[in-house]
A and B are shown apart, each in its own frame.
Chain A
Amino acid sequence: MWFELFKFELKYRINRPETYVFFGFLFLFSMVGVDFIFQGVEIGLMKKNAPLVIAKTMGAITGIFMIMVSMIMGVPVLRDVQYDIEPLVYVNPITKRDYLLGRFLGSFVVLLLIFSGLLWGMMVGSLMPWHQPEQMLPFNAFSYVQSFVVVVLPILFFGASTFFVTGMLSKKLLVVYTQGLVLFVIFLLTKAITHEYLQGLLDPFSLTTLTQVAKDWSVEDSNTLGITLHGILLHNKLLWVALGILILFVGFRQFSFSVPAKKGKKSAVGDTVMVQENSNNDHPIPKVSQQYGYGAQYRQWFELIKFYILSLLKETSFWAIVICGIVIIISNSVNLGTVYGVDSFPTTHFIVAELQEMSLYFFIAILLFYSSELIWKERTIKQYLLNDAMPVTNVMVLTSKFLALHGIYVVLMLTLIVAGILFQVANGYYHFDLKVYFSGFFLEILPFLTLYTCMAFFFQVIAKNKFIGIFLTLIFFIVNVGSEFLGFHHSLYKFGGQPLGTYSEMNGYGHFLAPYLWVKAYWLVFGSIVIVLSALLMNRGAITPLRKRMGTLRHQLIGRKGLFLTFAVVVWFLLGGYIFYNTNILNTYWTSEQEKAFRANYERTLKPLEYLPQPKIIAAKLAIELYPKTRSYDIKGTYQLMNTTDKPITAIHIQKRLASHLDLKEVIFEGGAKADSTHSEFDYIMYHLSTPLPPKASLQMDFKQSFAPQGFEHDPSDTQLVYNGTFFHNTLFPSLGYNKKYELHHPVERLAMGLPQRSNKATIENENELIIARSGSDSNGIMLEVTVGTNKDQTVVAPGILQRQWTEDDRNYFHYKTNHPIINFYSIVSADYEVQSAMWKPADTPSQPVALEIYHHKTHTYNLDRMMESMKASLNYYSKNFSPYQYQQLRIMEVPRYADYAQSLPNTIPFSEALGFVLDIDDTTDVDMAFYITAHEVAHQWFGMQVEAANVQGKNFVLETLAQYGALMVLKAHYPENKIQQFLALQQEIYDTKRKRATHEPSLALVENQDFIYYHKGAISMYRLQELIGEESVNRALQQFITDWRSYTGKLKTQTDRYVTSRELLAYFKKVTPKHQQQLLHELFETNNELDE
C-alpha cells in the first residue's frame, strides 16, 4: 500500500511546476556556485574545483537553499489539511505507517532529484569557459559525486526528516516557510561556539567541519585529497543523521491519524456560551456618516496601519523569529573593534555596527515572510470577499499594509537601540550617542528594507500565490546582489545603490552622505512608483490573470493616480538625471573594466621608462591651502632636483597624480624645458631640459597643483581629503618617472590583460631596487619646508619643527621646517584636534629633550596616558640601547578610521582612531595594545627613519620585525612576563591561521609582503633569539647595525649608494651568536620551518 502512496506522491510532484523551477534554479545557481560562495575569499593556490572547494560550496548552497527543502518536505501531509481533504484521506483503510512512509519517501526522492541540480550544475559550471585554466584541475566527476554523497546527502536527510515532521505536526504553512530559516539560525549559532570540536560537530552544513578536516592539509593535499567520511566529519554527519532518524521516529509516534481540526475546535466550542435569546429590535442602528475626505482618509489610514501591525503581532511565527533573533544576538560574542584580542569601549558606533550585522538577516526574513503574509492574509483565511467589496481603494489598503510592516521594522529597531543602550550600561559605558543609533538604523538599514519591501510587495501582487512571490523576491535579491559580481555597479541601475560608507567619530559620515541620500531618494521614488503600480495591479475579488489586470492599467491611470505616477516618474527622472550629471558628467565614471584596461595600458606603454635615470628630490618647499569644507586645496611647490647619476640628464619625466579635478600647472624648470605630451593620456609629461643637468648639479622645479571636487562621484571612497581628519601623503604631489603603484596587482586580472606575472617584491639581488628604499622613490632624503593653511577650527601637523603658527583671514596657518634631512615619505594631517603634551628628557644619553604631543579627537581620551607612557618608555629604551633619537619632537596624530593602521613618518605618527584610542584595556586580562602599538611605531623612528632598507625581499624583516622586537622589549620592561607570553601566544595563533591560507611561505630573510611572517613570526623569532643569545647581545648587534647603516651618516652607508638588506642584518646577528647556536639562528631567519611551540 505504501508503494501506491509513494507513486502518487511522485506523480503529483512531476506535474507540479515548482519541481522544475526548483531544479532549474538550483542548477543555474550551482553553475556559478563556486564563484558566488568564494567571491572575495582568497583561496590561494587551491584550485576552484579542488574537492575541498567543491565540498564547501555544496555545503553552503545546501544551507542557502534549506528553505527549498522545507518547502518540499514540509507540505506533503500539510497539503491534505490545506485542501481540507484530510477527513477523506484519513478514513481510508491505510495505516499510518504506509501513509507517512509513502509520503515521506515520495517527497524525499523528489527532493533528491531536485538537489541533483546542485551536482549537475556544479559539474557543468566547472566546464564553462569563463574560468582561468590555471585555476582549475582537470575535470573529475568523482570529486563531485563524492562531495555530494558525503556532505549534501546526510544534511538533506536531516532536513527532510525534520521539516517533514514539523510540517506534519504543526500543519501550518508558515512553519514550513520559517523552518528552513531556523536551521540557518542554528548554523549561525554554532559560529558562536568557541570550542573547536563542538563547533565542527554541530555545524549542520559542515562548513566549519570541513575547515577543521583540512586544517593540516597543504595546498597540494587540498587539491588532491577527496572528502571522505572520517574523523570529525564522520561524527558530524552521524550526529545529524541520527538526529534525523530520531525526529522521524518521534514524529511518527506523535502523529495522530485523526482530523486535528477537532482539537482546535474543542476548546473553542467549550467556551461558546449560548447567547441569550432575546429580540434585539430595541437596538436601533445609529445613523453614521461615511466620510471619504482627506481627513477621513488620513484617519482611515492610521486605523488600518494599527490593525495590520496588530494582526502581525498576533502571529506566533513572528515571535518565533524575534525570539530567535534575540537568542542569536545574546549568544553571539560581540566584536567591538577588537585589536589583537583587546576589545574597544562599547562606543555607540561599534554597537550599532554589531547590531546591524546580527539583525539584518532577521529583518530580511521578516520582510520576506510578512510582506507575503500581509498581502495574502485575507485570501488565505478566505476573508477577502468581505474586504474586497469594501469602499476602500487599493492604494489605501496596500500602503497601509506597507506602512504596517514598517511599523514593525521601526519597533524592532527601537528595541535593538534599547538593547544596545542596556549593553552599554551593563558595561559601565554611559556616552549614548543617540544620533549614531538613529542614523545607524533609520538612515542605513531602513531605506534598504523599504526598497526591498516595495519589491517584495510588487512580486507578491503579481505572483499567483505567496510561495511564488517569496521565491521571486528571493531571486530578485540574489540577482541584484550577484549582478555586482558581474560588473553592474552603477547606482542608477543597481537597485538600491550602494551602502553608506564607514562612520567615523571624527568625520561622521563625511562626504559619503550626500551621494547616498541622493541615490536613496532616487530609488525611493522608484519604490513609490512600484508600490502604486502594485496597488493598481492588485487582485481584487476573483483571481484575474496578471495579463488581464495589466490590461486595466490604462484606464486606471486617469485621475489622481495617473497624476501621481506621472509626477513620480518625472521626479525619478530628474533625480536620476541629477545623479548622472554628478557621477558621469561632473565626474568620470570608470567601470572596473575601463579602469583595468587603463592600468594595463599604462604599464604596457610606460614600463620601459621605469629605471630611466632621473634626478632626485633633495628639498621640497610647499605652500598648501587646505579647504576642508569643500575638500579642496591649492598647492604651490618647489622641488630642488639633483642629478645623482654620473651622466647628464636631458629630460625630466613628471607624473601627475591620476585623479579627476586635479590640476597640475605652471611646471617650470630652472633654465627652461620643453614639454613633450606624447603620454599625456596618462598625465605623464616629459620635459626636455634646454640645458642638460650635469652630474652633481641641481635645478629648481616649480609647480602649482589644485584640487576642487565637483558634485559627487559614484564611488566617493577617496578619503584623503575629508571634512574633519584630512590625511594625505606626499604621494599626492607630482612624482618623477614611471609610477609602479598604477600597475594592476591581482594575478588573475594581470593574466586576463595579458600582462606578465608581477612579483610583489624585487629579489634581493635586483641592482635597480637595491639603490632605492621605497617603490619608485624619488629621493634619498629631503629637506622639507611646508606652510599649510586650513579652517579656523583645525590644526595641521606636518614633519619638522613648528616655526610659526598664526591666524590670517580667519584661517589657521602652520609653518613647519626640518633641520636635517628626512625620508621623502611624509604626511600632512588637518583636523579639529585637542592636544596632550609632555616632555621627555633623556637620563644619561646624549639625546636632546623631546616634545611629546598627542593630537586626538576630543572624546578619545581613554588611552592617552598609556600612549604617552609608551612614547617615553620607548624613547628611553631605544635611545639607550640602539642610538640617540634624531628629532626634538614626536607627535601622534589621530586620523579617521578609513585608514585602519598606525604609521611612522619623520617625527610624526598618524594613528587610526580604529586602533588604539578607544581600546578598553583591562590590565588583568588584556595586553596593553595601545602601549604596544605606540612602542612599535616609535621603534620605526629608528628602523625606517634612521636606517632605511633596500626595496627588495627581506625589507620588511629589517623594518617591521625589528620594530616588533623593539616594542616587545619595551613591553617586557614594563609588564610582567605573563603578558609577554599572552602576546606571543596570540602572534603564534595568527601566524598559524594565516600561513595555512598563504600561497607560499618565504623565510624571514626573504620575506615579501607576507605580514604573518614579518609581524607575527618575526615577533616570535626575535623573542627566541634574545632568549637564546641574550637581549644585550641582540641590542649590541643592532647598535652596530645602525651605526654602520644609518642614512646620511652611517659608516658603511656613506660609502655606497645602495641600501641595507636582511643579509647584512643577519651578519650582525651571526657575529653575536655563539657557534653552537648558529644553526638555530639559521633556522629562525633563513628557513620557513615551522615554529615549534
Chain B
Amino acid sequence: MKLVIDNLSKTYANGVKALQNVSLEIPTGMFGLLGPNGAGKSTLMRTIATLQDADEGKILLGDINVQTNKHSLRKVLGYLPQQFGLYPKISAEMLLHHFAVLKGIAHAGERKELVGALLQKTNLYDARKRHLGGFSGGMKQRFGIAQALLNSPKLLIVDEPTAGLDPKERNRFHNLLSEIAENIIVVLSTHIVDDVRELCTQMAIINQGQVVLKGNPLKLMEGLQGKVYQKTINPSELKSYITHYNVINDKRFLGKPRIQIISDVPPGDGFLAIDTSLEAVYFSQINHQN
C-alpha cells in the first residue's frame, strides 16, 4: 500500500498559496516531511487527514480516494495534529474510551482492553483517572498518540509531534513512533532535521508550498558529500561572503558567525571541508529557494 499525492494545490482566501502542485509517493514506513514554519506542511497533513479540501489534485491511499471517500480513509487513519486541546474535566481513560467509540470499536470488552493497553503503552496508565486539564505537554502528546493508534491505523499522520517536548519526552516519543511504523505508513511532519534523521527512511522537503526535494535521507546526504565547507568569519564580512558563495547556513559559534557553503570545488579561502549532514541538505534547499 502506498499513499500517493498527486499534483495537490491549495490557495487560501487571503491569497496565500499553501500548496503548489505537490506530488509525493509515500511507501510503508516512516516518511519525514521537513520544512520551515509556514511551508505548508500542516496544510498538507490536514488535507491528507480529510480535514481540509484541496483546490486541485488528489490523494490516494491504496484505492481510497481521500477527497471523495473521506469516511473510508478515516477508518484506517490515525492523526495527531500539531496543536490540540482535550476536554479538561474528563479523565484520560474516559476520553480515550470516547475516541474508541468514535473510531467504531463497538464491543465494550474489546474497547476496555484496548484502552488499557494503549494507556500502558503511552505510559499514562497510572494517570488514567486524572482529568486531562492537569496533563503536561508531554502527557498530552502521548495521549494524542494513544488516540491515533486506537484503530491500528494503516496511515498515521503526526504533525510536529515533538515541538515543545523536553529531550527525554522526545526520545520516548521517537521510540514509540518507530515501534509502530514497521508495517504502516507514517507521515511525520517536522521542522526539526534531527527528527527525520533519527526516524525516517524516506523524506521530502517542502518549502513555500512546493516539494523541493525528496528521497532517502542517506542518499540525499550522499549527494552533497564533499561539497560542504565551513568557516568562522567576522560579523562584518558576512554580507560579502553571501554574495560570493552559496551560503546555506549561518550559525553563531562562540559569538561569531560560522557559515557553511556548498561548492563543487574546494573554495580555499580558509574554508574547511566538513562531513555532510541532513541539516546541510535541508538548508541547501531552503536557503537556496529564499
Contacts and interface: CB of A to CB of B under 8 A. Distances in A.
Report whether chain A binds chain B: yes
Interface of A: 264-265, 267-269, 271-273, 275-278, 280-281, 283-292, 295-297, 299-300, 303-304, 307, 310-311, 314, 377, 381-383, 385-393, 540-542, 544
B118 interface: yes
A542 B113 contact: no
A386 B71 CA distance: 14
* Nearest 4 CB-CB pairings of A with B: A541-B51, A268-B134, A382-B85, A296-B106
Given A290-B104, A290-B105, A385 B51 contact: yes
Interface string B90-125: 100010011101111111101101100110111110
B117 A283 contact: yes
Interface stretch (B73-81, B242-250, B257-265): B73-81
Contacts of A287: 152
A528 to B, nearest CB: 22
B266 interface: no
Given A299-B106, A303-B101, A387-B102, A290 B85 contact: no
Contacts of A288: 105, 107, 110-111, 113-114, 152
B121 A285 contact: yes
A383 to B, nearest CB: 5
B104 A381 contact: no
A300 B106 contact: yes
A267 B134 contact: yes
Interface residues of B, number: 58
Interface stretch (B143-151, B204-212, B280-288): B143-151
Contacts of A271: 130, 134
A542 B46 contact: yes
B53 interface: yes
Contact of A268 (B50, B120, B133): B133
Given A271-B134, A291-B107, A389-B51, A383 B85 contact: yes
Nearest to A380: B85
A361 to B, nearest CB: 27
A386 to B, nearest CB: 6
Contacts of A283: 117, 120-121
B185 to A, nearest CB: 15
Given A290-B75, A544-B53, 7 more contacts: A269-B136, A291-B105, A300-B102, A381-B87, A382-B85, A387-B102, A389-B79
Contact of B104 (A272, A273, A277, A291): A291
A391 B50 CA distance: 10
Contacts of A385: 46, 49, 51, 79, 81, 83-84
A286 B126 contact: no
Contacts of B256: none
Interface of B: 46, 49-53, 71, 74-75, 77, 79, 81, 83-90, 94, 97-99, 101-108, 110-111, 113-114, 117-118, 120-124, 126-127, 130-131, 133-136, 139, 144, 147, 149, 151-152, 179
A536 to B, nearest CB: 13
Given A287-B152, A389-B50, A391-B77, A383 B84 contact: yes
A390 B81 contact: no
Contacts of B50: 388-389, 540-541
B235 to A, nearest CB: 31
A275 to B, nearest CB: 5
B173 to A, nearest CB: 13
A277 B118 CA distance: 16
B84 A286 contact: no
A374 to B, nearest CB: 12
B123 A275 contact: yes
A869 to B, nearest CB: 63
Contact of A285 (B85, B117, B133): B117
A383 B102 contact: no
Contacts of B133: 264, 268
A296 B130 CA distance: 29
A296 B104 contact: yes
A273 B79 contact: no
A285 B146 CA distance: 11
Contact of B105 (A289, A304, A540, A544): A289
Contacts of A285: 114, 117-118, 121, 149, 152
B11 to A, nearest CB: 14
B121 A290 contact: no
A contacts with B: majority SS: loop
B103 A290 contact: yes
A311 B90 contact: yes
Contacts of A389: 49-51, 74, 77, 79
B269 to A, nearest CB: 45
A236 to B, nearest CB: 40
B127 A541 contact: no
A938 to B, nearest CB: 67
Contact of A383 (B87, B126, B149): B87
A76 B128 CA distance: 37
18 contacts: A269-B136, A272-B134, A276-B123, A280-B122, A283-B117, A285-B118, A288-B105, A288-B113, A289-B107, A291-B106, A300-B102, A304-B102, A314-B89, A389-B79, A390-B103, A392-B102, A392-B104, A541-B46
A393 to B, nearest CB: 7
B86 A381 contact: yes
A273 B134 contact: no
Contacts of A276: 123, 126
A314 B53 contact: no
Contacts of B75: 290, 292, 391
Contacts of B135: 268, 272
Contact of B101 (A264, A281, A307): A307
Given A288-B152, A393-B71, A542-B46, A386 B144 contact: yes
Given A382-B83, A383-B87, A390 B51 contact: no
A300 B117 CA distance: 21
A284 B149 CA distance: 12
B256 to A, nearest CB: 33
A281 B135 CA distance: 23
Contacts of B147: 386
A286 B110 contact: yes
Nearest to B119: A283
A264 B122 CA distance: 25
Contacts of B102: 300, 304, 387, 390-392
A562 to B, nearest CB: 15
Interface centre among A297, A387, A391, by most chain B C-beta atoms within 10 angstroms, is A391
B177 to A, nearest CB: 13
Nearest to A382: B85
B104 A292 contact: yes
Contacts of A291: 104-107
A837 B169 CA distance: 91
A283 B139 CA distance: 18
Nearest to A314: B89
Contacts of A272: 127, 134-136, 139
A297 B102 CA distance: 10
A286 B114 contact: yes
Nearest to B49: A389
Contact of A386 (B84, B101, B120, B152): B84
A289 B117 CA distance: 15
A389 B139 CA distance: 21
A520 B212 CA distance: 61
Nearest to B88: A381
Nearest to A292: B104
Contacts of A290: 75, 103-105, 151
